[in-house]
């Protein structure tokens, strides 16, 4: 028994602490018991949750917790040095150091294989990735880490963006630096949102560190509602659809009819939303029980009536991060800047490294020359290039944030093009100021369809499979099979249609249901929670599916 308990406290790669495992809720119950003792003293409370969060990350990612500590300590120290410096130039150097360190960590762990493969292709070598950190640890401490592999730390994109935005905000004097490293560590590592967001701004969260703990009876009910809502989204919708239909089609699209491929695409749109927003809902609920408020990350995105509206509703913390720390610094919708053209070079370099061929170079050169000539010789086009280049770059780089592949660049580029097309359409649209119900319904359907088709590249394992899937939809739809497919996958289609139906319900109705649940008695709340858990257990896959955004 003692050995089993001690073993549980160690890192087990096949048993991470995630919201869909029973072990997490036992862990959280113990956390709450300790929290009940320490919460009256703010300093002790923040330190307690900081160390709890470190343990949570250790259980999720092992010794990568040292990487989290490195990011925490370096950006904490950089923030202090920036505020102490009276020289603007020195402050800028400290900011540059923060950005360099954060991006270096991100690139090393997330893109090492990409750059190694690109180098081998260009130079006709056969170098393999070598984990310098593992090699150093093995020599210095006698550990036995595998130096021939670099594993991606869970949530690295989220916490590096979070610490980097803190340094930028301190530089801009938008926030005061945190004076206590334990408080700052708690802000960076708060376990509900640590591994898959939302990305929390220092200005939103740090003031909460110094507020007394307060959770009313109604807030408790709302928090419990968010947790149940997230679990049902993840396990009843996302996992069930993935295991029983979507994964099969995407793995071998040529073996399924065009209708099945189309259904899998719309199913994946629902899956990725239910999966990611389900995680966020649980994170918001868990944080609320501890007395902290996390930002809303989704706002019914499939009710969006335009591409622009969709990106205001989807992954809001990342969209606003890219807007505030990339799009606006490049010049926003005013004009291109030196920063813009540096980013153009950055994207072109990635394109070349992804497909290092003479044809790629010729296409890039031809595109650049065409843009330069158009900019110089055709004055009316200058304004359009200036006002749209930053938007296109932001979406393309957003694609690269998700992964270094041609699929992700295409996905980001198509979304950028969609935003630009909508911007021009909106100027001449007869429904710009007022949209009747039928027009808005058609706009919502068109937006959902566009976003869904872009996800062919987001989810597709390769360009070949993307081509096969689109070809099946275009040329092998086979409408005669539709009744048999629906009958064969009846439960899947019921879940699919039910999920979209619930998503499209009026927000006021959802708010009323959440409020009614929060105001009900503890007995009713517990009974509903019990029914939800029974339902989840009935449809739960024997092999728990990880949250999709853990890989980002």
Cβ–Cβ contacts within 10 Å for residue 527, how many? 12
Report the pLDDT value the prediction gives residue 329, as an integer from 0 to 100. Answer: 85
Report the pLDDT value the prediction gives residue 88, as an integer from 0 to 100. Answer: 84
Two tokens, residue 307 = 């591409």
Question: In this predicted model, what pLDDT tens digit does every residue of 81-105 receive, in sequence order?
Answer: 888 888 888 898 998 999 899 988 8
Cis amide leading into 198 (omega within 30): yes
**pLDDT of 5 higher than 60:** no
Cβ–Cβ contacts within 10 Å for residue 478, how many? 14
Report the pLDDT value the prediction gives residue 245, as an integer from 0 to 100. Answer: 92
Surface-to-core class of residue 295, CB atoms within 10 Å of its CB (0-12 exposed, 13-18 middle, 19+ buried): middle
Specify the 3-state DSSP secondary structure of 472: helix
Question: In this predicted model, what pLDDT tens digit does every residue of 120-136 receive, in sequence order?
Answer: 777 778 877 777 766 67
The ranges assigned to domains in the chain are 6-213, 218-305+437-552, 331-434
**pLDDT of 358 higher than 80:** no
The per-residue DSSP string of 125-149 comes to -------HHHHHHHHHH-----TT-
- Name the packing angle between helices 181-189 and 156-171 (round to 10°): 130
Question: In this predicted model, what pLDDT tens digit does every residue of 481-506 receive, in sequence order?
Answer: 899 999 989 989 999 999 999 999 99
**pLDDT of 3 higher than 60:** no
Per the model's pLDDT, the better-predicted residue between 344 and 189 turns out to be 189
Under 8 Å CB-to-CB from 443, ≥6 apart: which residues?
A: 305, 306, 431, 435
Percentage of the chain beyond pLDDT 70 is 92
Report the pLDDT value the prediction gives residue 227, as an integer from 0 to 100. Answer: 93
Residue pair 174/183 in contact (Cβ under 8 Å)? The answer is: no
- Give mean pLDDT, residues 332-339: 77
Distance CA 427, CA 425 (A): 5
Cβ–Cβ contacts within 10 Å for residue 110, how many? 21
Under 8 Å CB-to-CB from 219, ≥6 apart: which residues?
A: 288, 518
Question: In this predicted model, what pLDDT tens digit does every residue of 251-270 receive, in sequence order?
Answer: 999 989 999 999 999 999 99
**pLDDT of 452 higher than 70:** yes
Q: Considering only the C-alpha atoms of the chain, give the largest distance between any 2 of them, rounded to a whole number of Å.
A: 79
Catalytic residues: 402
**pLDDT of 319 higher than 80:** yes
Per the model's pLDDT, the better-predicted residue between 179 and 549 turns out to be 179
Report the pLDDT value the prediction gives residue 544, as an integer from 0 to 100. Answer: 59
Report the pLDDT value the prediction gives residue 137, as an integer from 0 to 100. Answer: 64
Report the pLDDT value the prediction gives residue 356, as an integer from 0 to 100. Answer: 72
Two tokens, residue 252 = 């071998």
- Give mean pLDDT, residues 361-381: 80
pLDDT band for position 327 (50/70/90)? confident
Per the model's pLDDT, the better-predicted residue between 127 and 408 turns out to be 408
Distance CA 300, CA 274 (A): 11
Report the pLDDT value the prediction gives residue 403, as an integer from 0 to 100. Answer: 81
- Give mean pLDDT, residues 429-441: 84
Question: In this predicted model, what pLDDT tens digit does every residue of 461-471 receive, in sequence order?
Answer: 888 898 999 99
Report the pLDDT value the prediction gives residue 545, as an integer from 0 to 100. Answer: 66
**pLDDT of 273 higher than 90:** yes
Per the model's pLDDT, the better-predicted residue between 372 and 211 turns out to be 211
**pLDDT of 542 higher than 60:** no
Cβ–Cβ contacts within 10 Å for residue 87, how many? 8
Residue pair 411/457 in contact (Cβ under 8 Å)? The answer is: yes
pLDDT band for position 8 (50/70/90)? low
pLDDT band for position 300 (50/70/90)? very high
Distance CA 412, CA 401 (A): 10
* Count of residues in the chain: 552
User: pTM value?
Assistant: 0.90
pLDDT band for position 547 (50/70/90)? low
**pLDDT of 1 higher than 60:** no
Q: What is the mean pLDDT of the chain?
A: 85
Beta strands in 208-330 (DSSP E): none
Report the pLDDT value the prediction gives residue 346, as an integer from 0 to 100. Answer: 81
Give the phi and the psi of residue 150 in degrees, each rounded to 5: -115, 115
Nearest to 194 by CA among 52, 300, 315, 74: 52
């Amino acid at each position: 028994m003692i050995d089993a308990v001690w073993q549980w406290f160690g890192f087990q790669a096949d048993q991470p602490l995630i919201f869909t495992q029973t072990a997490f809720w036992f862990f959280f119950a113990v956390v709450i018991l300790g929290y009940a003792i320490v919460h009256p003293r703010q300093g002790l409370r923040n330190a307690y949750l900081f160390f709890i969060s470190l343990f949570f990350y250790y259980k999720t990612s092992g010794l990568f917790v040292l990487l989290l500590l490195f990011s925490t300590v370096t950006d904490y120290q950089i923030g202090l040095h920036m505020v102490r410096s009276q020289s603007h130039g020195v402050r800028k150097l400290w900011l540059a150091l923060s950005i360099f360190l954060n991006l270096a960590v991100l690139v090393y762990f997330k893109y090492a294989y990409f750059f190694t493969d690109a180098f081998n292709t260009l130079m006709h070598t056969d170098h393999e990735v070598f984990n310098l950190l593992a090699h150093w640890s093995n020599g210095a401490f006698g550990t036995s880490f595998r130096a021939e592999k670099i594993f991606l730390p869970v949530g690295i994109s989220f916490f590096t963006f979070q610490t980097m935005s803190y340094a930028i905000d301190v530089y801009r004097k938008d926030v005061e630096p945190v004076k206590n490293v334990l408080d700052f560590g708690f802000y960076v590592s708060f376990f509900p949102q640590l591994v898959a967001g939302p990305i929390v701004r220092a200005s939103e969260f740090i003031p909460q560190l110094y507020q007394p703990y307060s959770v009313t009876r109604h807030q408790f009910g709302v928090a419990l509602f968010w947790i149940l809502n997230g679990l049902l989204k993840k396990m009843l919708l996302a996992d069930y659809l993935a295991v029983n239909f979507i994964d099969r089609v995407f793995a071998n699209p040529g073996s399924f009819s065009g209708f099945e491929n189309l259904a899998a695409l719309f199913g994946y749109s629902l899956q990725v939303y239910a999966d990611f927003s389900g995680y966020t809902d649980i994170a918001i609920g868990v944080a609320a029980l501890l007395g902290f408020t996390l930002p809303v990350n989704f706002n019914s995105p499939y009710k969006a009536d335009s591409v622009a509206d969709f990106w205001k509703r989807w992954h809001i913390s990342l969209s606003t991060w890219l807007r505030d720390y990339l799009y606006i610094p490049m010049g926003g919708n005013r004009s291109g800047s030196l920063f813009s053209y540096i980013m153009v070079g950055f994207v072109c370099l990635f394109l070349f490294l992804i497909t290092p061929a003479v044809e790629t170079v010729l296409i890039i050169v031809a595109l650049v020359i065409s843009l330069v000539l158009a900019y110089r010789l055709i004055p009316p086009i200058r304004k359009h290039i200036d006002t749209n280049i930053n938007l296109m770059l932001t979406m393309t780089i957003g694609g690269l944030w998700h992964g270094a592949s041609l699929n992700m660049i295409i996905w980001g580029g198509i979304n950028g093009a969609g935003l630009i097309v909508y911007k021009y359409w909106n100027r001449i649209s007869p429904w710009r100021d007022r949209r009747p119900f039928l027009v808005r319904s058609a706009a919502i359907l068109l937006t959902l369809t566009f976003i869904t088709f872009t996800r062919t590249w987001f989810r597709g394992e390769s360009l070949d499979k993307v081509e096969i899937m689109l070809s099946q939809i275009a040329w092998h739809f086979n409408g005669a099979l539709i009744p048999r497919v629906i009958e064969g996958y009846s439960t899947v289609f019921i879940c699919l249609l039910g999920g979209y139906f619930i998503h499209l319900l009026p927000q006021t109705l959802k708010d009323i249901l959440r409020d009614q649940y929060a105001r009900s008695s503890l007995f009713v709340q517990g009974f509903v929670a019990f029914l939800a858990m029974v339902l989840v257990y009935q449809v739960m896959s024997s092999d728990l599916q990880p949250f999709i955004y853990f890989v980002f």
